[in-house]
């Protein structure tokens, strides 16, 4: 029986930087929305990755 293949990363470090920039822009756009805190938390989590 063969071993399962090793999973590969979906996003590169550069991708996380781009996504974080996009989320930062969106956070400013929805700053008065109830969901803004969720996007703010996502922004900070992405900062820890990239």
In tens, the pLDDT along 2-29 reads 888 888 888 888 999 999 999 999 999 9
| pLDDT of the residue at 38 | 95
| Residue ranges of domains in the chain | 13-49
Q: Does the pTM exceed 0.75? A: no
Residue 46 · residue 16 · CB < 8 Å: yes
What is the C-alpha to C-alpha distance for residues 50 and 42, in angstroms, rounded to an integer? 12
Residue 19 · residue 46 · CB < 8 Å: yes
């Amino acid at each position: 029986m063969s071993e399962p293949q090793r999973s590969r990363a979906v996003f590169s470090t550069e991708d996380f930087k781009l996504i974080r920039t996009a989320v930062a822009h969106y956070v400013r756009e929805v700053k008065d929305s109830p969901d803004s805190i969720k996007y703010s938390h996502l922004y900070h989590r992405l900062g820890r990755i990239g």
